Structure 1
């Protein structure tokens, strides 16, 4: 288990290093940083090649799931914080594991911002959605995630965690000097947006958890996709 988790831990460490650089870079070079973080997200796949050769259909599956998650943001563009991306990332990780979840979350953020607009927030969204998938994959065999109510609660919590991660970028980007009052104001201001994200996660998970998960599990069993 430790051998399987090590590449993901390295990828997360690289992401945290990249996000720390955003404090110095501010609005500069964010696209280059996003591409470098994309490479970090794909690191587990590259290291997996040492254990066994990945089949082309497995790479296609990751690309398709990332594209679906990215495109799913567009129909809900008019509704702030209401998006099925988190639910799709969580369910994909639940079926295919932490590696897939981390990659799908990070790639979905980068690709969807081709439509919504790239910016210094992109690396933070890549990290937030990547971590949603990573944690869902690591917990997928727990009694909590195997229960429908547990999965819905997990999605609800990640609605807030996503917003809290993005608040860090918001606070760093402000010209004002850091203060705990500024932190409290930022987190209080985002509460209703975070709540909308959390409730939308519950809604989309409740709708998709049965059929979508069943389809992915059948693909995984039939074709032996993304199995160690």
Structure 2
């Protein structure tokens, strides 16, 4: 039954997306910019659903789930006190170091969880799936960064955090542009992105500052914790060797 559900999941998702697109065209919703906003949000929600489905069906230990929950909660709680500051928050920084230390899968789950949990305090809305996707993608790329540059230093990770201040804003701008701007053309696209430039810059500078001052110490703490969680599989005959040496059964 489970394998059958996996086989039909992607065709059903594709059919639903195409159906929404055709419905938007038929009822001329695209002419008013609402069809694209709805379609883009549905695609993001489906992507989140598929990623959570993959995580649920993967081989995840209870220890890893506990770590993800803990880091996601810390990242979410860290966002609330900084809500009054324009786009300066430690959430992106926490998501990035989580992905860098524990890998892309954990990074995505920490980022998406942080967005969902923090919005219970700051307000849920149509922006929540986009924030979940954007922060999840930050954690995913941080894990890829670790794979590509395993010995990335403070300078490289500070620059990476700085870049994600803009990338996060650009993803959220796409939601704003498709959902609220009319008409959807290159002029309105550039205007929407230009309007958020200073907010994205503050986000980028905040990320860089957080990593520059706190990043190395946080990475060491999480790496030490990861080593404690690691499980080493010993050869099958090790028990016989230990028994023969100690005489203890």
TM-score norm. by structure 1 comes to: 0.79
Structure 1 residue corresponding to 2:197, chosen from 187, 191, 194:
191
CA contact (8 A) 1:34 1:110 kept: no
Counterpart position of 1:210: 216
1:85-141 deviation line (CA, Å, top 9, x unaligned): 111000011100000001111111111111111111111111111111111101113
Counterpart position of 2:65: 59
Matched, 1:45 2:55: yes
Closer/same/farther in 2, CA of residues 96 and 39 from structure 1, 3 Å limit: same
1:130-170 deviation line (CA, Å, top 9, x unaligned): 11111110111333861211101101111001111111111
Report the Cα offset of residue 46 of structure 1: 2.3
Counterpart position of 1:200: 206
- More moved, 99-108 vs 145-154: 145-154
For 2:181 and 2:216, the matched residues in 1 are separated by 46
Matched, 1:131 2:137: yes
1:190-228 deviation line (CA, Å, top 9, x unaligned): 000000000000011112212211111111111217xxx
Closer/same/farther in 2, CA of residues 150 and 142 from structure 1, 3 Å limit: same
For 2:131 and 2:218, the matched residues in 1 are separated by 24
CA contact (8 A) 2:44 2:133 kept: no
Larger radius of gyration: 2
For 2:188 and 2:126, the matched residues in 1 are separated by 20
CA contact (8 A) 2:161 2:211 kept: yes
Matched, 1:173 2:179: yes
- Give the secondary-structure state (helix, strand or coil) at the position aligned to 2:89: coil
Closer/same/farther in 2, CA of residues 145 and 172 from structure 1, 3 Å limit: farther
- More moved, 32-41 vs 69-78: 32-41
- More moved, 123-132 vs 137-146: 137-146
Closer/same/farther in 2, CA of residues 173 and 71 from structure 1, 3 Å limit: same
Closer/same/farther in 2, CA of residues 68 and 37 from structure 1, 3 Å limit: farther
CA contact (8 A) 1:37 1:123 kept: no
1:27-67 deviation line (CA, Å, top 9, x unaligned): 8xx8x998766543333432322xxxx33222111101001
Aligned pairs (5 A) from 1:143-154: 143=149, 146-154=152-160
Q: Give the unaligned 5+ runs of structure 2.
A: 1-9, 22-32, 232-249
Aligned pairs (5 A) from 1:75-154: 75-143=81-149, 146-154=152-160
Q: How many corresponding residue pairs? A: 204
CA contact (8 A) 2:181 2:188 kept: no
Q: Give the superposed CA RMSD.
A: 2.9
- Give the secondary-structure state (helix, strand or coil) at the position aligned to 2:146: coil
- Give the secondary-structure state (helix, strand or coil) at the position aligned to 2:88: coil
Closer/same/farther in 2, CA of residues 36 and 70 from structure 1, 3 Å limit: farther
Closer/same/farther in 2, CA of residues 83 and 148 from structure 1, 3 Å limit: same
